[in-house]
Amino acid sequence: MNKTVIIIGGGIGGLFSACLLCKEGYKPIIMEQHGKIGGGLHCFERYGELFESGIHFVSGFEEKGPLRKLFSYLNLLDKIHLKTLDKHGFDIIQIGSEKFNIGIGKENFIRIFSKSFPEESQHIREYIDVLYTICDHIPLFNLQPISDVNYLTEDALIPVGQFINKYIKDEKLQKILAWNNPLYGGNEEQTPVYIHAIITKFYIEGASRFIGGSQHVADAMATMIIHMGGEIHLNKEIVNIEVDNKKITKVIAKDGSEYKADYYISDIHPSLLMDLIHTENIQKAYRERLKQLKNTHSSFLVYVKFKPNHFPYLNHNYYYYNNYDMIWNTINYHLDDFPSGFILMTSPSKNQGKYANKAIVHCIMRYENFQQWENTYIGKRGLAYESFKKEIENKIIDKVNEVFPNFEASIDKVFSGSPLTIRDYLRSKDGSLYGYKKIYETIFQTRILPRTKIENLFLTGQNINLHGILGVPLSAIITVGIIIGDVNYLINKINNNQ
């Protein structure tokens, strides 16, 4: 009889864990609190358009890329539909009135920046070489066998701002090279450089978008899971985990139904997981650490449906900052002058033409701005909340319209999501986008291991290892590898596509 594994949460980590378990002959049973699986891959329909909730662009599907290998191993590569972003500028950065392109490919990246900063040409090459070397020494990032040896060198653990300034002398370029820090909750003086290195290299190697939205990726994995004997239970929010003699005996859903398995994987935020387990079953120090660790920022999202043939499709992500100082400080805004920056992304349709059908605008936002409504739930937050949300939405539209003067006139329909929306849909602590905040001085405190003191409970998701469409699948490999008894066996199978 196949061993059973209950997975709490049908997000990216839960889905990848389930797929990998299926390949090993286990029976995964996903418990998803919402009516649709996917987590960050989840898309929702509004005004006849599909909008993405979390994953808006990806990488890792280039030849020998880690996600290409993983999806090939799962026999799902042909189910994934991608549109490669502009190789001469997959990201465009505007700072005040100045613009810069981020090109796909290491040499392209160096060439484009060397053209704008010729006196820094050699420094740019040295910087990117060391950045790549840091990544090359992280085995899991490259789907290489791992060991107990600490692969994070001293250079990989210094603050990212210090690292950039070590190689780059031009003050403007120092700031520009941190353009993507909203993708990892970066802090100039706190974030260890290996986080910046992984994210930067990952997208330089080949940035793409999912055609028609990211939901088809989640659906393809769900189909595989069910086809191979797994189960997916929707609208099943787990509210209690019963433990006896250091082993989970059953989980209880909000509707009162009970489920049992041989193993259990949690794909929800570890802090929220602690709320489901009685105090006596978890060490006090462990519980307090998971509850007290700081989380990364949240965001405010504006979703736009355009009038037909009005706003151009942008085959790049557009980053805007009011000035150079704001690149590291968009989180330190005052509401009076919010936002000080944004990311604009137009999503490709199946037969994408010259004009965009829709767009998403992402602005970093602190949870505290919406904290007075934290005891409410989606659709039941009241008029004061809706009024404040509309005010923030209008501020963002006004800012985007300063950069793209036809933006507001092109809008057919618009709606938005606050940090509370993110919290409730993604079951993320305080609406955190990337889970626990990585701080170089306390990096091993934020290192959450997949194995817990409860013998048959394991953790996965963005708080284990790294966040995002790369980090979470890699975390799932570790989690499943521990359950089956050999992580490197699993890594080798993926590499050999066995």
Residues 301 and 427 in one domain: yes
Q: Which residues contact 146 (CB under 8 A, 6 or more apart)?
A: 139, 140, 487, 488, 491
Residues 345 and 392 in one domain: yes
The two three-digit tokens of residue 99, written as one number: 């613009």
pLDDT in tens, the chain (498 residues): 589 999 999 999 999 999 999 999 999 999 999 999 999 999 999 999 999 998 999 999 998 899 999 999 999 999 999 999 999 999 999 999 999 999 999 999 999 999 999 999 999 999 999 999 999 999 999 999 988 656 677 778 899 999 999 999 999 999 999 999 999 999 999 999 999 999 999 999 999 999 999 999 999 999 999 999 999 999 999 999 999 999 999 999 999 999 999 999 999 999 999 999 987 888 899 999 999 999 999 999 999 999 999 999 999 999 999 999 999 999 999 999 999 999 999 999 988 999 999 999 999 999 999 999 999 998 899 999 999 999 999 999 999 999 999 999 999 999 999 999 999 988 899 999 999 999 998 888 888 999 999 999 999 999 998 889 999 999 999 999 999 999 999 999 999 986
Residues 159 and 222 in one domain: no
Do the beta carbons of residue 259 and residue 275 sit within 8 Å?
A: no
Residues 317 and 372 in one domain: yes
Strands of the sheet with 98-102, listed across from one edge: 98-102, 91-95, 317-321, 341-346, 358-365, 298-306, 411-417
Domain that holds residue 159: 86-205
Distance of CA 101 to the CA centre of its chain: 23
Report how far residue 487's alpha carbon sits from residue 205's, in angstroms, rounded to the nearest whole number.
26
Do the beta carbons of residue 295 and residue 435 sit within 8 Å?
A: yes
In a domain, 59, yes or no: no
In a domain, 439, yes or no: yes
pTM assigned to the model = 0.95
Closest CA to 135 of 87, 195, 78: 195
Residues 224 and 343 in one domain: no
End position of a domain, from candidates 155, 175, 205: 205
Residues 301 and 289 in one domain: no
In a domain, 265, yes or no: yes
**CATH at 23:** 3.50.50.60
Q: Look at the chain and report how many structural domains it folds into.
A: 3
In a domain, 58, yes or no: no
End position of a domain, from candidates 172, 205, 238: 205
End position of a domain, from candidates 205, 231, 251: 205
